[in-house]
Amino acid sequence: MKKINIDSPKKTIRDVEIGDRVTIFDFVNLYECRIGSDTRVGTFVEIQKGVEIGSHCKISSHTFICEGVKIGSGVFIGHNVSFINDRFPRATNSDGLPKNRDDWDLIPTTVADNASIGTGSTIMCGVVIGEGAMVGAGSVVTRDVPAHTTVAGCPAKVITDTEGN
């Protein structure tokens, strides 16, 4: 792993640990995260501080991966996927003052190896998407997804397991 910094009109990459043969397309914002070898990061992606992404992943365009997310190896993330890290988001405190970093609880999310998340999905905070699981396009994941199952819908529900049941 090497640490890189790029600040250009087409990319902002700040203090990112990056593996070998990583492809990063234009118009991305990457901050203090870690990206494993042979991973591809598409156009218009933001990956925030503390995020860990394994090797051999594909992060498609227009995806937002917020602080507190850990993604295993071999994971596919479709276009326009959003991760959420705050269960009760608000712009201000009860006194009307803007919230700052100390005014909210970061709730981590994990995506295990070889999982796939379909285009347009939203992954709520605090969930674990199990190894080899598949999230259907447009799903809203509000609960853990067992390994080797397919979920879909809003909220996402199990529709098949490894035997296709």
Among residues 56, 62, 79, 148, the one annotated as catalytic is 62
Quick one: which of 164, 83, 86 has its CA closest to 129? 83
Quick one: which of 65, 63, 62, 44 has its CA closest to 53? 65
**Ramachandran sector of residue 103 (left: φ over 0; alpha: ψ -120 to 50; beta: rest):** alpha
At residue 110, the 3 state secondary structure works out as: strand
The verdict on whether 62 is a catalytic residue reads yes
**CA 149 distance to own-chain centroid:** 19
At residue 53, the 3 state secondary structure works out as: strand
Burial 42-72 (b: 16+ CB within 10 A, else e): bebbbbbebbebbbbbbbbbbbbbbbbbbbb
Positions marked catalytic: 62
